[in-house]
Structure 1
């Protein structure tokens, strides 16, 4: 097992002037070693220092710290406006029929049934949901009580259409009925709640609801229910509009899944045998932290605090087991699960329907941070606002596997926790498996930082400005790959689209870069309304580090296509190569107010084989004036799907 260190020295997030004991000895030793190693450079800097004793490095560092603090203040002021905008309907490209829009409600169970006859509706009214929709609707630990028409006479006679992402993009039910129109609207919404498996996250729950007034009364005909919203917060619910034909007023309807009165729905109680499920994940992402994590976390509700991402970036569903205990911050192991349906938005937004690298990273890192947070490191510093940030790690693909419609099992271990003034650090290792067979393994470090600690960040280079290779070589004459134009060409192969359109152009210097094998550069403006800020994190928006990695991958993919690596392939696909360890370091974050993301990739090696080619790069990403991400041995493979075993 590799032990991850924080840049090899004791971490002092607040630049505290005093240290004592072992920590002081470790720091002194590190300083002595650094001093001897960097002595020539220090002498050169000293000789270059202007008269008057003004240290240019100190000036730069002070400027960087001031800029960080200013950005954090602007970020805080922007948070509420970002979330206000996020509530508006977004204008996006049309999604393929087979894919879920990013942020769409993810059902807790799935069925192939799209029509229901009268007999099936009677079975739903008798509570036999799993008989109608299948065994996935009666998992272990769930007491099935919810049923159709539990408070009204059954008036639906047939359901002619069930669509998960139909209508307004959030679901549709079409049914025939004989009886009261308001009752028909309510029961159509109840069918949708059962169809999406909402009662499965609260054992013993019932359906409750109501509909707006209507003059239609008792009639027979067809009702079309268009789902306006479906969510698990504050309780699982469906809000919809029912239409009865031209010239009639629509009926507004709401159905809620309610636990038995007085029932505990906190960790370990909502469903027998699970510590946390989809209901808790939704609350941790953007709801009541006391429900998600337990009453100790109640002070974090409604304020900036550690959270999971939300929407299409929430990539962990359940915590199956946990052998640790709250307050034990040294060791723990646990198993979580994530279901990856084939219609997930990220499959549709890649060129070849494969799982993008950022999902590998996010599903493993979210599982780690979830349980590290559950152990309670932030509870040791009450009253302090702490923001979570990933600091780095390593990961390796062990085998290549099709993950569409797979349940990914995440086995993680908390290795250590270090509590420091204004921050704390945690290290983990993790393994992802499908059907008991590992396919991805890695280690990572997370930090919880106060605003002051975040304000003191000085990037990867101690506050020094380190320019890109292109800026250091003004004589280079790059050629440009117009990614945006390629993406707009329906006949062209594009590596990403819609939500994963992370770059618009790539500058290429053939035989450039530090390895003289090729160099890639891209610059993208940050829009504070970019979709991922509303997802990562609630009240603490930053660009996910994994999407920074993904943007470098996209630059490499576009270069590979431009260089002809796909020529002659019947069905080229991009994959993550196996057995090539990849590592990353993050020493800062991209805020909505930062203006731009700059990236570069140095082609390190190119290997061609009988089935395709593999390219390995080293990369960096900058916010204006500061290099904050470093990527080592990031690998991309292109292969002909028809030639794969």
Structure 2
């Protein structure tokens, strides 16, 4: 650990070239407004409020204060104003970050970064003033923003008292955060503090899973009096000698453990404990070969040089959080006292690690012989957890599936997708035997579709987009086939997994936000061939015991020569699109739907955005196509930096077939809106049509080097019901050299909220 001194705070606002970022008006003090009565006048120069831990609200005396009705109005107005002020500050912070990290303006060490406080007014916590800090604001990365860490459990708690923190020090995690954190006593040593370790936090407020500079998490905490002196770096306290820097690092580590428990990092291991520092292995599970993360540092500001260690508050910013190779997180902490920034603590990390010899995954043959620590929110024991699925995606498959798969570490091999495209969380039940590929084996798996997952906010649908329906069902099936050992007969060969086709039907409309999807997968058959193995599956998805989606699909395992022999759907010929096949003299009029322009309008309804913005324009031939009902065509450029290549698959990048289908669906949705079918609908939304079997066939892959893909859609039916319109079509998709996807009866439906079912 190193101790540094920063320079004095800048007295002037940050100015970048000709742009000045500032906040006009008197600084808003939410606590002062909280303390004011409805007729009290605000003092012209308020004194800094005194920090106070969050406490339960106390009932007002019946005879005190204004009439209850007036008090209620004041509280409501106060809450609205506080929220508005925080929104303005967040907007200002976003502008500052954009300017600091803008093109040609690298963020130099020692620059001033704007640091905003958590909204802790309701907890009696004062606002934290901005101060001089070393910057830690990373530009938004389009490859990572969909992959926000999904906690293993969620709690309604946002504030913790001293008593709560004491309970966490006793290992009573479920008693503080709720029954979703219960592990039946398998982790008695997962505690906030070790025996004999001083508790340094007095309260915690504003726990946020998506807070902080990297939206990875944040919290605000109060500190006990830390031993300190005017001479930075050393003190002589009642308990003996030590350093203020050590105490601050220990406090940041305890705050990090609070957040780790809140996110449920401990839930996927048994017989585990917290250890200091990041994991000792690389991301693939092997010994660390690269540079180790920097050691923790404590930087005292000019204001902190004379700080005596009392009256401190800590704002924690989670800078990294992951399950590989073991659950861990790294944090940065800003320490304030007396309204001043006095210290910054960087690169403090904690890891959840099992004790030596404790089982962490499946044994030989895939058997799970011991409880590995994961229980669901419903209290059911899982066989394999999010930790194992993460390793199956981009870590050590030996951890996820058993020692037989350890040789695939760091190789191009069959894997689950990663990041925000990994849509299987847990294996709950198995009726299977490794090596028996004849058919009949079953798995039951689960996926938690949290309401804050990226696709809910970025889809044009009223709930989950079609690509996630497809992916979560297909990933559950591929997990079963791969677990059984389809590639283990040739352990030296690298196989790629590709979906070859299938059929799926939506059974009922259901809003899947915050739902746990139960996936039932059955292997129907395996057909091995030289360099290839084909497997057929059936599957069913259910919520609360009621099925809502069912289908069958075929997967193929291909070695490199087999993949190179792909000839597409037309025997290697480059068949033209319907439009290109027409004689130039017969080409009908073509008009364009400018999807990018519509998407650029924040008020544009029912528009796919962000990671699901798959098309920029769609060509339309009214009355065209094979069925004379309308024809659509779109060309999409392929950028090797597209976000999905980092997810699907690790070391084997390819565009997910489900996103090709999603692009077709988006073209149809844009046509539905352009054709005026929103008319007469007051609260419209797209839904997946019930009872329409979608059939797809894939005979090729889209690679980062392909440059473009082209899709065409032949509208074949437009049907209306009260409050609903349903459009059905056939479609195809090309890479530059061949037609590779064919879709039969792909359908979209626009319905008014509350409309009767189809």
Same fold (TM over 0.5): yes
Deviations 1:167-190 (A, max 9, x none): 121111110111322221011100
Shift of 1:274: 3.0
**1:310-459 paired onto structure 2 within 5 Å:** 310-331=418-439, 332-459=441-568
Residue 120 to residue 479, structure 1, CA distance change in 2 (3 Å)? same
Deviations 1:360-390 (A, max 9, x none): 0000000000110000010112321110000
| Cα distance between partner residues in 2 of 1:624 and 1:90 | 34
1:378 is paired with a residue of what secondary structure?
Answer: coil
Deviations 1:283-313 (A, max 9, x none): 0100011111111111110010000000000
CA contact (8 A) 2:183 2:373 kept: no
Residue 143 to residue 187, structure 1, CA distance change in 2 (3 Å)? closer
Matched, 1:483 2:595: yes
**1:131-142 paired onto structure 2 within 5 Å:** 131-139=175-183, 142=186
Matched, 1:170 2:216: yes
Q: 1:207 aligns with which of 274, 277, 284?
A: 274
1:240 is paired with a residue of what secondary structure?
Answer: strand
Q: TM-score, normalised by structure 1?
A: 0.83
Number of residue pairs matched? 553
Matched, 1:603 2:649: no
| Cα distance between partner residues in 1 of 2:535 and 2:342 | 62
| Cα distance between partner residues in 1 of 2:635 and 2:655 | 15
| Cα distance between partner residues in 1 of 2:253 and 2:187 | 23
Matched with 2:172 is 128
Q: 2:349 aligns with which of 251, 254, 261?
A: 254
| Cα distance between partner residues in 1 of 2:275 and 2:430 | 33
Deviations 1:250-292 (A, max 9, x none): 3321010011221121122423743321000000100011111
Shift of 1:229: 0.7
CA contact (8 A) 2:461 2:687 kept: no
Matched with 2:206 is 161
2:298 is paired with a residue of what secondary structure?
Answer: coil
Shift of 1:248: 2.6
CA contact (8 A) 1:147 1:207 kept: yes
Residue 215 to residue 511, structure 1, CA distance change in 2 (3 Å)? closer
Q: 1:285 aligns with which of 387, 393, 400?
A: 393
Shift of 1:353: 4.6
CA contact (8 A) 2:324 2:390 kept: yes
Deviations 1:102-159 (A, max 9, x none): 1011100001111111111111111111111110001569545411112631110010
Residue 372 to residue 497, structure 1, CA distance change in 2 (3 Å)? same
Shift of 1:625: 2.3
CA contact (8 A) 2:164 2:176 kept: yes
Q: Which runs of 5+ in 1 are unaligned?
A: 1-87
Q: 2:383 aligns with which of 251, 254, 275?
A: 275
CA contact (8 A) 1:384 1:422 kept: no
| Cα distance between partner residues in 1 of 2:571 and 2:718 | 33
CA contact (8 A) 2:415 2:649 kept: yes
1:551 is paired with a residue of what secondary structure?
Answer: helix
Residue 613 to residue 142, structure 1, CA distance change in 2 (3 Å)? farther
Matched with 1:507 is 619
Q: 1:573 aligns with which of 674, 685, 690?
A: 685
Deviations 1:524-556 (A, max 9, x none): 100000000000000000000000000000000
Matched with 2:140 is 91
Residue 357 to residue 384, structure 1, CA distance change in 2 (3 Å)? same
1:643 is paired with a residue of what secondary structure?
Answer: coil
| Cα distance between partner residues in 1 of 2:528 and 2:609 | 42
CA contact (8 A) 1:92 1:498 kept: no
Shift of 1:90: 6.2
Matched, 1:235 2:343: no
1:185 is paired with a residue of what secondary structure?
Answer: helix
| Cα distance between partner residues in 2 of 1:485 and 1:184 | 50
Matched with 1:6 is none
| Cα distance between partner residues in 1 of 2:323 and 2:251 | 23
Shift of 1:242: 1.0
Matched with 1:185 is 252
| Cα distance between partner residues in 2 of 1:431 and 1:352 | 21
Shift of 1:571: 1.1
Q: 2:742 aligns with which of 623, 630, 637?
A: 630
| Cα distance between partner residues in 1 of 2:637 and 2:388 | 35
CA contact (8 A) 2:332 2:344 kept: no
Any runs of at least 4 consecutive aligned residues in structure 1 with deviations exceeding 2 A, and if so which?
A: 88-93, 139-145, 210-220, 245-252, 268-275, 642-645
1:621 is paired with a residue of what secondary structure?
Answer: strand
Matched, 1:639 2:751: yes
| Cα distance between partner residues in 2 of 1:359 and 1:141 | 35
Shift of 1:212: 2.2
Matched with 1:109 is 153
2:492 is paired with a residue of what secondary structure?
Answer: coil
Comparing 489-498 with 153-162, greater Cα deviation is found at: 489-498
Please provide the CA RMSD for this pair. 1.9
Deviations 1:547-605 (A, max 9, x none): 00000000000000011111121111001111111110000110000000100111011
| Cα distance between partner residues in 2 of 1:309 and 1:130 | 31
Matched, 1:264 2:310: no
Matched with 1:222 is 313
Shift of 1:205: 1.4
CA contact (8 A) 1:427 1:443 kept: yes
Q: 2:646 aligns with which of 521, 528, 534?
A: 534
CA contact (8 A) 2:296 2:345 kept: no
| Cα distance between partner residues in 2 of 1:366 and 1:190 | 32
| Cα distance between partner residues in 1 of 2:138 and 2:666 | 28
**Which of 1 and 2 has higher RCO (CA within 8 Å, sep 6+)?**
1
2:569 is paired with a residue of what secondary structure?
Answer: helix
1:244 is paired with a residue of what secondary structure?
Answer: strand
CA contact (8 A) 2:462 2:686 kept: no
Matched with 2:265 is 198
Residue 621 to residue 144, structure 1, CA distance change in 2 (3 Å)? farther
